[in-house]
Amino acid sequence: MYKKEEFYQNLITKLLNNSCTVGADYYRPQWHVSAPTGLLNDPNGLIHHKGNYHLFYQWNPLSCRHGMKVWGHMTSNDLVSWNHYFPALIPEEEYESHGCYSGSAIVVNDQVTLFYTGNVKFKGGRTSYQCLATLKDDGDVQKLGPVISAPNGYTGHVRDPKVWLHEGYFYVVLGAQDIYKQGKVIWYRSNDLTNWQFLGELAGSGHNGFGKFGYMWECPDLFNLEGKDILLFCPQGLEKENEHFANLFQAGYVIGALNYHTKSYQHGAFQEFDLGFDFYAPQTMEDEYGRRILIGWMGLPDENESYHPTIKNGWVHQMTCPRVLTLKNNKLYQQPVKELEVLRKNETKIISIANDIPSLQLRCAEMIVEGGINCQINLSDIVLIHVDNTEVTLKRKNWRTNLWESRSWQGSIEILQILLDHSSIELFINNGEAVMSSRFFSPCNESFYITFEGSEVIHLTYWELSY
């Protein structure tokens, strides 16, 4: 638990001392969202209100380790340029003594209301409270305190509220772990955001064809898209199955139909959201144009995290680019928002056998590859993209072990879109049918280059990306 004045003094000191090293870091993203210092993780409270996009996020500004979390706060009117604000929520009350954990936002009476988890640890255990706060026009936040306590039958791991309005009632889903250490999503209903009725388990291990499916489900998000009710969540504890569930923790979704009257949710199979190395805790919002937009954390709390080379310069992690979701063939497609095209500079088109394409000196770029895509794209011998008629394989050198590791997607390949930003790659396959997101760290004392290998003709279009 922080004392507010002391926290702000420490934060300002950290920002002043770290600003030069963070800003000059070779790996610092040019156009992706990252924190000004410290550790960034889950996106929170995504909302579009009065022409501005609000992005809150889990933030430890005083360290590059997980621990006491506040809510960072940024806004943008175009999803490209972002303005930083002082933290929206800091843990200064007993009901949030060990962190203001993830949550969401909703507009009520033309005011943004925040719904978050107050994390409380004590000797031998922990508990949680789901809390409300309101965002004022000047950026200040007024806390309203807890409105939901930990329910019976569950451990202290109940968190990450995502709230929405349906036919005059507010609903919220929460990630949970029951007393048998099984992952669940539970939900509540309210007519005033303050008094909540427990509706039971919406989904989880033992429901709808799932057997044991992880010991904890985090970061749920439920929304309707094109007539389907889609539940996003992050199950922890899945065993690897061939090329599936290759990361330590997963992020994915199910598609189904939610019956508000019978309080039941029938859904299909779990589908992974992103097949790269670094993707977790996605959250979505609907903007004022009716688009369903997703932002995820391009990171994972895993064994590689403490080896990020950026830590020595006082920062770690970034977000994905904002992505528009559409539903096609019972699958969510993800595509970068159109607003990012303003970053494109110096368009170049090449039609050539891959082997004959000259080496490209690009660290911050967008590339589109079409044609007979049987080739390998080499990013400075630190990332390899191998494409044939039936599979895309993404390889990178692990910065902890320096060994090659790989992820793959099977299917027919028609077009690849690649977004690069100094130390990240987002690979969109077939206009978003599949996505692979990853961080990488090339040696900063060597030139960065991109080469193509293969005997077939490809169509390459690329742009430098910059403000």
* 266-292 residue pLDDT tens: 999 999 999 999 999 999 999 999 999
Q: Greater confidence, 256 or 123?
A: 256
* b/e sequence 170-209, b meaning 16+ C-beta within 10 Å: bbbbbbbbbeeebbbbbbbbbeebeebeebebbbbbbbee
Residues 23-73 have pLDDT tens digits of 999 999 999 999 999 999 999 999 999 999 999 999 999 999 998 999 999
What pLDDT does residue 4 have? 85
Residues facing residue 49 across a β-bridge: 52
Return the H-helix or E-strand segment holding 285.
strand 280-286
Closest alpha carbon to 441 in 25, 64, 63: 25
Would you state the pLDDT for residue 235?
98
Q: What percent of the chain has pLDDT over 90?
A: 93
pLDDT reported for residue 422 = 97
Exposure b/e, 89-98, CB count within 10 A at least 16 = b = bbbebebbbb
- Note the pLDDT of residue 223: 98
Helix (H) or strand (E) holding 10: helix 4-23
Helix (H, G, I), strand (E, B) or coil at 413: coil
For residues 409-424, average pLDDT: 96
Give this prediction's pTM.
0.97
> Each residue of 303-324: pLDDT tens digit?
899 999 999 999 999 999 999 9
Q: Which two tokens stand for residue 402?
A: 């320096």
Q: Given pLDDT bands bounded at 50, 70 and 90, which one contains residue 242?
A: confident
* Average confidence score pLDDT of the chain: 96
CA 274-364-446 angle, 5° bins: 105
Q: State how far the Cα of 303 lies from the Cα of 298, in Å rounded to an integer.
A: 15
pLDDT tens sequence across 122-181: 988 999 999 999 999 888 999 999 999 999 999 999 999 999 999 999 999 999 999 999
- Nearest C-alpha neighbor of 147 from the set 136, 135, 137, 161: 161
Is residue 65 helix, strand or coil? coil
What are the φ/ψ torsions at residue 222 (nearest 5 degrees)? -120, 130
CA distance 205 to 210: 5
Structure tokens at 250: 């997963």
Q: How far is CA 182 from the centre of its chain?
A: 23
Rounded to an integer, the average pLDDT of 195-208 is 96
Residues of the chain above pLDDT 70, percent: 100
Q: What is the pLDDT of residue 378?
A: 98
pLDDT at res. 186: 98
Instruction: State yes or no: is 42 an active-site residue.
Output: yes
What b/e string do you get for 214-247 counting C-beta neighbours within 10 Å, with b at 16 or more? bbbbbbbbbbeeeebbbbbbbbbbbeeeeeebbb
Q: Quick check: 372 pLDDT over 90?
A: no
Average pLDDT over residues 438-456: 95
Question: Domains (ranges, CATH) in the chain?
Answer: 4-336 (2.115.10.20), 343-465 (2.60.120.560)
Q: Is the pLDDT of residue 102 over 80?
A: yes
- The model's pLDDT over 334-354, given as tens digits with 9 standing for 90+, comes to 999 999 999 999 999 999 999
Q: 285: number of CA atoms within 13 Å, CB side?
A: 24
Has residue 398 got a pLDDT over 80? yes
- 382: pLDDT confidence band, cut at 50, 70 and 90? very high
pLDDT-derived band at 112, boundaries 50, 70, 90:
very high
Predicted confidence band of residue 2 (pLDDT cuts 50, 70, 90): confident
End-to-end CA distance of the chain: 39
- Alpha-carbon distance of 161 to 100, in angstroms, equals 12
Contact 304, 43 (CB under 8 A): no
Instruction: Work out the average pLDDT over 100-119.
Output: 97
Distance CA 256, CA 293 (A): 19
